Structure 1
């Protein structure tokens, strides 16, 4: 078992996640610093032109659907419940580092095609945007498992363009088509440098409940994973 680390701003800034990935050899390929910077630069360059009447000016929105809801680790000005259409939350990324090991891989969430997803939209100040987004990139883009892109988020009173971290279907760790029982079994047993996969699952479940967001599939997975852990 890899030594446990706490996922906070200091840990992310230290490059600890990249170090963990590097120790796994060929099992994962961490992005080089220049690749990460290039990804962030390209994403910012692709930003849709803001509406001239937009009250947020040049501030940037980031959409969270998993651990960024309960542990963002970056600074923001505002957070609101938002809805993304065309993407849904799914345990579709196998992990052998943060919430699993090569011997017992865990799973983490990704945004996969189709459906819709309720989550939290964070507004990041334009003055701090690159600094804060680099924290997000160092966390979410340890490898190329996600594809950052812009999408529309419905905040109720209006729609904003936000950065979405969608699953990269070409990535070797993309795990499509897993049924809820299989997901629950993996989440109940896997554990990695960031702790048990079950903590990730249960923390997300609780965070969604606190925001009034119902994810029926995730609730079923959590319920089954809880039963499996109680049987140990």
Structure 2
């Protein structure tokens, strides 16, 4: 990448902003964007350690959605073996005229414990010069009230499998994320997400789509009961007009 290319990638707010998505924004982007850049950020780890009471769960039975954990914090919580210290996602360019509306939309969408931070985004072709500088990103930090932290993968999978909120089944969120990550970069590695995907799919197969009462009555979930490939069924809902979080 030439110095000129790097300069063009450094976007000031007067020229619009970039927003980095690492969760539901990957498959359900901001309302207004003019371009996107697949890439990754350094020194963060994506984890299903954030409770969702407003989208993928309820206050009585919260779901779990992703947040970003700084690597230096994460290494004191879990084993760092095998992690390459990068998190893949998609950066979206928001034009100047739509910045205010987009920020208001995202502030509402990410209201359940998330705060705004900035990150540099790198591409597969160049791991030294950011392709986007100072992209806005929403993170549920480890001191926010919805941060729930780690648990055994089987427990997290069970919680995701059993919870449902205004934006739908928590498992839909997880399976959409796993499939979206594979699409944006064939070589992407996220053992945490893919392990949960495997465990939740096993739970779905065992239950034949029969979940908690809140999920069973949903006509959206009824679609899954007659579909052998559950992940494929969930991806058909990507065009849904429901709000997502993460």
SS at structure 2 position matched to 1:93: strand
Runs of 4+ in 1 over 6 A off after TM superposition: none
Deviation at 1:59? 2.5
Tell me if the contact between 2:52 and 2:58 (Cα under 8 Å) persists in the aligned partners: yes
Q: Look up the match of 1:62.
A: 19
SS at structure 1 position matched to 2:43: strand
Tell me if the contact between 1:79 and 1:121 (Cα under 8 Å) persists in the aligned partners: yes
Q: Which has the higher strand share?
A: 1
Tell me if the contact between 1:63 and 1:162 (Cα under 8 Å) persists in the aligned partners: yes
SS at structure 1 position matched to 2:180: helix
Tell me if the contact between 1:74 and 1:136 (Cα under 8 Å) persists in the aligned partners: no
Find the aligned partners of 1:88 and 1:147 in 2 and give their Cα distance: 17
Deviation at 1:172? 2.1
Deviation at 1:52? 9.9
Q: Look up the match of 2:230.
A: none
Deviations 1:139-173 (A, max 9, x none): 11x24x11211111113454122012122222222
Find the aligned partners of 1:60 and 1:174 in 2 and give their Cα distance: 27
Where does 1:1-232 land on structure 2 (aligned, <5 Å)? Answer: 53-54=7-8, 56=11, 58-114=15-71, 115-140=85-110, 142-143=111-112, 145-155=113-123, 156-157=125-126, 158-159=129-130, 160-212=133-185, 213-232=188-207
Find the aligned partners of 2:142 and 2:100 in 1 and give their Cα distance: 27
Find the aligned partners of 2:104 and 2:62 in 1 and give their Cα distance: 27
Tell me if the contact between 2:68 and 2:141 (Cα under 8 Å) persists in the aligned partners: no
Tell me if the contact between 2:49 and 2:149 (Cα under 8 Å) persists in the aligned partners: yes
Find the aligned partners of 1:71 and 1:178 in 2 and give their Cα distance: 27
Find the aligned partners of 1:131 and 1:103 in 2 and give their Cα distance: 32
Range with greater deviation from structure 2 (122-131 or 59-68): 122-131
Structure 2 residue runs of 5 or longer lacking an equivalent are 72-84, 208-246
Tell me if the contact between 2:16 and 2:99 (Cα under 8 Å) persists in the aligned partners: yes
Q: 1:73 to 1:54 in 2, by over 3 A?
A: closer
Q: How large is the RMSD of aligned CA atoms in angstroms? A: 2.0
Deviation at 1:63? 0.5
Q: Give the aligned length.
A: 180
SS at structure 2 position matched to 1:170: coil
Find the aligned partners of 1:59 and 1:52 in 2 and give their Cα distance: 16
What TM-score comes out, normalization by structure 1 length?
Answer: 0.71
Structure 1 residue runs of 5 or longer lacking an equivalent are 1-50
Find the aligned partners of 2:103 and 2:59 in 1 and give their Cα distance: 29
What TM-score comes out, normalization by structure 2 length?
Answer: 0.68
